[in-house]
Amino acid sequence: MAIFIPEDKILEIKNAADIVELVSEVVHLKKAGKNFVGLCPFHTEKTPSFTVSPEKQIFYCFGCGAGGNIFSFLMKTDGLAFPEAARSLARRYGIDIPRRSLTPEQQKRMGERESLLKINREAMDFYSRALRRGPSGRKAMAYLNKRGLSSEIIDRFNLGYAPKGWDHLLNFFSKKGVPAARLEKSGLILPKKDGRGYYDRFRERIVFPIIDVNQAVIGFGGRVMDDSLPKYLNSPETAVYNKSRSLYGLHLSKEKCRKAQSVYIVEGYLDLLMLHQHGIENAVATLGTALTADHVRMLSRYVPRMILVYDSDEAGIRSALRCIETFWREHVDFSRGDVFREEKADTHILVLPDGHDPDSYLREKGVGPFERAAVEAPGIISFLIEQSIGMHGLSTEGKIRIVTDLKGPLAAINDNVARTLYIKELAERIGLEENIILEKVREGSSEKEKKEALRHKNITDKSGNRLEQQIIAMMLQFPDILPEIKKYNVIEFIENRDLQSIGRSILENQISSAEQVSELLSLIDNPEQQRLISALAMIEESWDENGCMKLIVQFVKKGQRRRDRQILERIKTAERENDQETLNQLLREKQKLAVLSQNQRLA
């Protein structure tokens, strides 16, 4: 059950707790000017970039971009959800949290989520009963047993069965009085093409409930028991289910992962279950998506080492190349502080030999050899080197091809030390001089830079990103300016949605001092926005009234010009299309804006 913590209690916890004290329990902190710094607990580093501000009561890591307040710190280190973190802190400081009724808005939002989670839980029970009942349920159970799954594993993962037919689940819920429109939001039923009624999404399939680390049932996967297609079917994304942030099995494996300091990542539900069946419980599966940066971030709360398991070289190579994109390319270009987020997880690729899948491999060779193979599994780049050698051989021709294959991936690594080491490894492995390879990689680099410059140009042209970030940084660090921000409608001109929403929250919640940044963080539950706030509050600039006004004027003028341009474009289109109605409307809008600009005339 979700627990709501009243705001005055959150404030009380905040007043009682001190972020420096809390962080000091995990990180050795040293004083550095106004702040404290230490080695980041969320990524591996040798020089401290993890910064804690006692004044603002927030932390931010300039290496990996982790940031937040006391609550987020506890959430990240202990893998807790917000209410749990708040409760744990409350306990620690002897603050009593009573249950309290919610505001209507909160009720509505919580209500929708809760209602989806409740539907999912009841659906899970429905499927689970169906697996244990009747001839078709018994057939499904026999299939699972034949695949080698014990009843213990079937129970532990709450497996179920969606019976053959179009409306079993639909009827089950309609008897309970759940309206079809609400059920549709869960993705468990679909509207019929002719618009008359609905039908069950999962039919005649084994059902795998997807459960998150807080034990909430957030979605489902379904697998056929024969050769029909699609073999796998998943819940669509819903208000409670986001594929790129969900990992199958993490709710059961997180503690094991922490203990083992490593995690196996497999591609399918059954592979995952088989690993557990063989006693390898530090394992998760992705859900029909490639491993995302969010996945990596989630997992790195528990483990430093990740082993991706594949049953073929091709799958391994595809994944290795994608990982390079995900781990090394993920830059966020960011005001002058040049903050970027890098995920440099220690990732290894394990391709099982002879087309084995985890189950067949474990059956034939056993757990020992599997674990030994995992220990020896090469890192991403080493894996690509070996694959390329395997493909092209070590003739002169082959070596040229190998270097060509690898120049892109090597150039993509923006850690100089790591790149140099990999170039050395490649040079030694194929017996070429480092210089020659380096030159090739530079070619790759300049291609990459061109691409990146282009991308950066797009961002700045589209959203004036740096300027927008500066506006928010200014609002966070120099609250005296907020009345002016309001007066000139500055927020309306911010195009980046996260930044705009942050700007609105600052104004709405009347954040009026640096100390309240941490307050703001607990009002916002979007992790990307939390990260942005921590970063923008931490990168200090010295603000004065004059400089701020200049920035505002520059920004608003630019925004007004953009808006005027856009209206003119639309007017031209309407004229061309002879759309009189739209045209009149646009002209009225234009007039209104002219008056508005007049009123807001900027110095």
Contact set with Zn ion (CB under 5 A): 40, 42-43, 61, 63-64
The minimum distance between CB 46 and Zn ion, in angstroms, equals: 12
3-state helix, strand, coil in the chain (%, to 5): 60, 10, 30
The minimum distance between CB 55 and Zn ion, in angstroms, equals: 21
b/e code 534-572 from CB counts within 10 Å (16+ = b): bbbbbbeeebeeeebeebbeebbeebbeebeeeeeebbe
The minimum distance between CB 42 and Zn ion, in angstroms, equals: 5
Which residue, 40 or 317, is less far from Zn ion as judged by CB? 40
Which residue, 211 or 339, is less far from Zn ion as judged by CB? 339
The minimum distance between CB 304 and Zn ion, in angstroms, equals: 13
C-alpha 141/C-alpha 523 separation (Å) is: 46
C-alpha 368/C-alpha 588 separation (Å) is: 76
Residue in 557, 499, 503 with CA at minimum distance from that of residue 532: 499
HSE at residue 276, side-chain half, CA atoms within 13 A, is 27
The minimum distance between CB 86 and Zn ion, in angstroms, equals: 23
Is the CB of residue 421 less than 8 Å from the CB of residue 429?
A: no
The minimum distance between CB 61 and Zn ion, in angstroms, equals: 3
The minimum distance between CB 45 and Zn ion, in angstroms, equals: 6
Which residue, 415 or 575, is less far from Zn ion as judged by CB? 415
Which residue, 61 or 533, is less far from Zn ion as judged by CB? 61
Alpha carbon distances (Å) from 274 to 145, 217, 267, 280, 283 = 12, 21, 12, 9, 10
The minimum distance between CB 62 and Zn ion, in angstroms, equals: 8
Structure tokens at 208: 């795998």
Alpha carbon distances (Å) from 531 to 41, 60, 332, 477 = 16, 8, 11, 16
What is the length of the chain? 603
Is the CB of residue 90 less than 8 Å from the CB of residue 9?
A: yes
The minimum distance between CB 301 and Zn ion, in angstroms, equals: 12
Which residue, 39 or 224, is less far from Zn ion as judged by CB? 39
Which residue, 66 or 189, is less far from Zn ion as judged by CB? 66
Residue in 499, 505, 507 with CA at minimum distance from that of residue 528: 499
Which residue, 205 or 305, is less far from Zn ion as judged by CB? 305
The minimum distance between CB 43 and Zn ion, in angstroms, equals: 4
Is the CB of residue 231 less than 8 Å from the CB of residue 224?
A: yes
C-alpha 272/C-alpha 45 separation (Å) is: 31
Which residue, 281 or 343, is less far from Zn ion as judged by CB? 343
The minimum distance between CB 476 and Zn ion, in angstroms, equals: 21
Handedness of CA 316, 317, 321, 324 (dihedral sign): positive
Alpha carbon distances (Å) from 159 to 389, 427, 430, 586 = 43, 50, 49, 57
The minimum distance between CB 485 and Zn ion, in angstroms, equals: 31
Which residue, 297 or 399, is less far from Zn ion as judged by CB? 297
Which residue, 65 or 219, is less far from Zn ion as judged by CB? 65
Q: Which residue has the tokens 């919580």?
A: 110
Rounded (5°) CA angle 44-47-51: 85
The minimum distance between CB 342 and Zn ion, in angstroms, equals: 9
Q: Which residue has the tokens 């926005």?
A: 529
Structure tokens at 28: 């050795």
The minimum distance between CB 60 and Zn ion, in angstroms, equals: 9
C-alpha 44/C-alpha 25 separation (Å) is: 18
Burial class (CB in 10 A: 0-12, 13-18, 19+), 65: buried
Which residue, 1 or 417, is less far from Zn ion as judged by CB? 417
Which residue, 43 or 305, is less far from Zn ion as judged by CB? 43
Written as one string, the DSSP assignment of 59-123 is: EEETTT--EE-HHHHHHHHHT--HHHHHHHHHHHTT------PPPHHHHHHHHHHHHHHHHHHHH
Which residue, 36 or 493, is less far from Zn ion as judged by CB? 36
Which residue, 40 or 380, is less far from Zn ion as judged by CB? 40
